[in-house]
Amino acid sequence: MNIENLIKDTFTAHEHDAPDSDAVLAAARQRIDSRRAGLSRPFAVAAGATVLTLGAVTAVVLNRPDPAGQPQITAPANGSQGSQPPAATGQAAAGLKMPYSLGWLPPGSVAYRAHRINAGSSAANPNAPLYGGEYMLTVTANGQVLEVDVQQVRMVSVDQATFKSGPGKSVTINGQHGVESSVSTGPGGYELYVTHPDGGSMYVNVSAAPGSTAPAQQLIDAGRRIAENIHFPGTTTVTPAYGLRDLPNGMRICAFDVEQGPERSAAGSATNTSYSLGTCTVQPSIFVNSAVGGDPTGTPGQPVQGHATRYADENGYHRLWVLDAVKGAPVTIAGRVPQADLYDIANRLVLPH
């Protein structure tokens, strides 16, 4: 399949945020390439797509490692927003599993985005090929802001790694062969590729955020320690703002993206969450998103789970807003599919209660 077509379809699902999918895709390439030249292009562009289509971050909590050394990403209980559907009474949104866990992060307040794309797999083997699994974090402590990016890069081996800062040099992490950037204060910060146990590599990038500074040794020490404490298989689950249950007709979650703000921000705010749904053997056909900018348009539709709705048909691209679904914000369900399919998915939402 063509992953760029998948991303362009994602942009189409959020045309109010990205009206020109080709232009936004090009901008994503330019922005990601300028920051992370060492990444394989398809995954880097996919990461850029989720960044560009999601709205402002809100606050939940990223827990620090438990005694076993495994950080768990969870959300606090949300206040009631609208009525809970009888069929979902007592249900909570299921946690979304990441393929690996981070056993250590630099100290400070953390904001994060976690996403995973599973496209091209089959119902018989739903986890292969796995395309994705990335944590993008911002850690703030004592006025210093670090940006941390950890991702699974199965299509790039350690020996294929390249860096913005110049040639890499060999390093050993937990007995595994790796290559790290030679100039950690360069435009890419500290970059490290280390061999993944199942092939390909793990990529770790630690850099000072724009407007902040960090000495090279701090970046090196943090990056190596993060890499030393990556755990396989993952036990980390990401708690979304809302969930999905009992998807119909062989449909599965092909991609998810969960974003939150600093852990010391106002408690109780919901995470931003998006899903791409389909068979995962072809491009996803339905997009579900809680990070929607602007007021819903369209005309009043049928109530869903006690919530008012708005519906719009944009030349065959259908969009359904479930109002006041997550902390007063709508959830949008969209796709070039029949209207009935959107209502079907809307009735399968697991909303906060």
Is the pLDDT assigned to residue 77 strictly greater than 60?
A: no
What pLDDT is stored for residue 168 in this prediction? 87
Is the pLDDT assigned to residue 9 strictly greater than 80?
A: no
Q: Give the type of residue at 312.
A: A
Where residue 254 falls among pLDDT bands split at 50, 70, 90? confident
Where residue 58 falls among pLDDT bands split at 50, 70, 90? very low
What is the spatial distance between Cα 333 and Cα 183, in angstroms, rounded to a whole number? 45
DSSP for 66-101 reads -TTS---EE-PPPPP-SPPPGGGTT--PPPEEPSSE
Of residues 181 and 183, more confidence is placed in 181
Q: Give the type of residue at 241.
A: A
Which residues have C-beta within 8 Å of that of residue 294, sequence separation ≥ 6? 16
CB 243 within 8 A of CB 350: yes
Tokens representing 293 are: 């900018």
What pLDDT is stored for residue 282 in this prediction? 74
Where residue 341 falls among pLDDT bands split at 50, 70, 90? very high
CB 149 within 8 A of CB 36: yes
Where residue 42 falls among pLDDT bands split at 50, 70, 90? very low
DSSP 311: E
Q: pTM of the full predicted structure?
A: 0.70
pLDDT tens digits for 266-276? Answer: 444 447 899 99
What is the spatial distance between Cα 102 and Cα 118, in angstroms, rounded to a whole number? 20
Mean pLDDT of 25-48: 34
What are the two backbone dihedrals, phi and then psi, of residue 11, each rounded to the nearest 5 degrees? Answer: -60, -40
**In whole numbers, what is the pLDDT of the chain averaged over residues?**
73
CB 38 within 8 A of CB 163: yes
Is the pLDDT assigned to residue 102 strictly greater than 80?
A: yes
What is the spatial distance between Cα 211 and Cα 219, in angstroms, rounded to a whole number? 16
Instruction: Out of 174-188, 264-278, 318-332, pick the least confident.
Output: 264-278
What pLDDT is stored for residue 165 in this prediction? 73
pLDDT tens digits for 197-232? Answer: 888 899 999 999 999 999 999 999 999 999 999 998
Instruction: Out of 63-77, 111-125, 253-267, pick the least confident.
Output: 63-77
What pLDDT is stored for residue 300 in this prediction? 96
Mean pLDDT of 135-157: 91
What pLDDT is stored for residue 24 in this prediction? 34
Instruction: Out of 91-105, 139-153, 222-236, 249-263, pick the least confident.
Output: 249-263
Mean pLDDT of 14-34: 37
Q: Give the type of residue at 10.
A: T
State the SS3 of 222-266: HHHHHHHCEECCCCCEECCCCEECCCCCCCEEEEEEEEEECCCCC
Is the pLDDT assigned to residue 10 strictly greater than 90?
A: no
Residue among 98, 217, 231 at smallest CA distance from 174:
231
Is the pLDDT assigned to residue 2 strictly greater than 80?
A: no
Mean pLDDT of 304-327: 95
Residue among 78, 84, 55 at smallest CA distance from 241:
78
The tokens 């389909």 sit on which residue?
Answer: 278
Residue 24 CA to chain centroid, in angstroms?
18
